[in-house]
Amino acid sequence: MERSRRVLVTGAGGFIGHHLVKRLKDEGYWVRGADIKLPEYGASAADEFELLDLRRWHNCLQAVRGVDEIYNLAANMGGIGFIHAHKAEIMHDNVLINIHMPEAARLNGISRYLYTSSACIYPGYKQNVPDVEPLKEEDAYPADPEDGYGWEKLFSERQCRHYWEEYGLETRVVRFHNIFGPLGTYDGGREKSPAAICRKVALAKDGDDIEVWGDGKQTRSYCYIDDCVEGIYRLMQSDHREPLNLGQDRMITIDELVDITSAIGGKRLNKVYDLSKPQGVRGRNSDNTRLREVLGWEPQISLEEGLRLTYEWIRGELEMSGKVVPEAQLIKEASLVREGQAAVAV
> Using CA atoms, how far apart are residues 190 and 320, in angstroms rounded to an integer?
21
> Using CA atoms, how far apart are residues 289 and 248, in angstroms rounded to an integer?
11
> Using CA atoms, how far apart are residues 180 and 184, in angstroms rounded to an integer?
7
**Ramachandran class of 207: left when φ > 0, alpha when ψ lies in -120 to 50, beta otherwise:** left
CA 69 remoteness from chain centre = 21
Residue numbers annotated as active site: 149
Find out whether 77 and 90 touch, Cβ atoms under 8 Å: yes
- Reported as type and span, the H/E element at residue 331 is helix 327-345
Q: Which residues contact 187 (CB under 8 A, 6 or more apart)?
A: 196, 199
Q: How many residues does the chain have?
A: 346
Task: Look up residue 237 and give its DSSP letter.
Answer: H
The closest of 10, 156, 147, 175 to 83, measured between CA atoms, is: 147
Amino acid at 29: Y
